[in-house]
Amino acid sequence: MFSLANKTRGAIPSIPFWKIKDHVLGKDYDLSLALLQPAQARRVTRETKNKDKASNVLSFPLSKDSGEIFLCPATARAQAREYGYENGELFLAHLFIHGLLHLKGYAHSDTMDNKEDQIASQFGF
C-alpha cells in the first residue's frame, strides 16, 4: 500500500513514487509519504532529531513492513544545485530513493550512494 499527502501549496511532482517504492521495498510494504512545507519539516526535524532546520528528507520505520517518509520540496529546490542536481524535482526523486533505502536498512555509505544512483538511473533520473 502507498499513500501520499501533499501538505504544500504546490502540485505533486511528476515522480513515480509508488513505482519506485514497489521496486525498492516491494508491493507489500505499507508506505506513507508526506510532502511538507518548510515550517512543517522544521517542526518534525526539531521533534525527532532535535535540530532546528527543515530537513529535506526524513524516514521512519514503523515496523518491518511499514514506514513513513517526509519530503520537503522547497528545501530540495533550494539545495539542488549544491548537491549537483539541475533542478529540485531530480533532487527530490533522489531524496525519496535515499529515504526508501534507509527504510530498507541501509546506512550512509558508498554502498548506499551506489544503490541510490543505480535506482535513479533505472527510473531515468
Residue 107 sits in a domain whose CATH number is 3.40.390.30
Domain range spanning residue 70? 2-122
Task: Give pLDDT, residue 87.
Answer: 87
CA distance 76 to 85: 10
Q: For the chain, what is the domain count?
A: 1
| pTM across the whole model | 0.95
Q: Tell me: the pLDDT tens digits for 100-120?
A: 999 999 999 999 999 999 999
Cα R_g (the chain), whole angstroms = 14
Q: Tell me: the pLDDT tens digits for 30-76?
A: 999 999 999 999 999 999 999 999 999 999 999 999 999 999 999 99
Which grid coordinates are listed for 122? 533505472
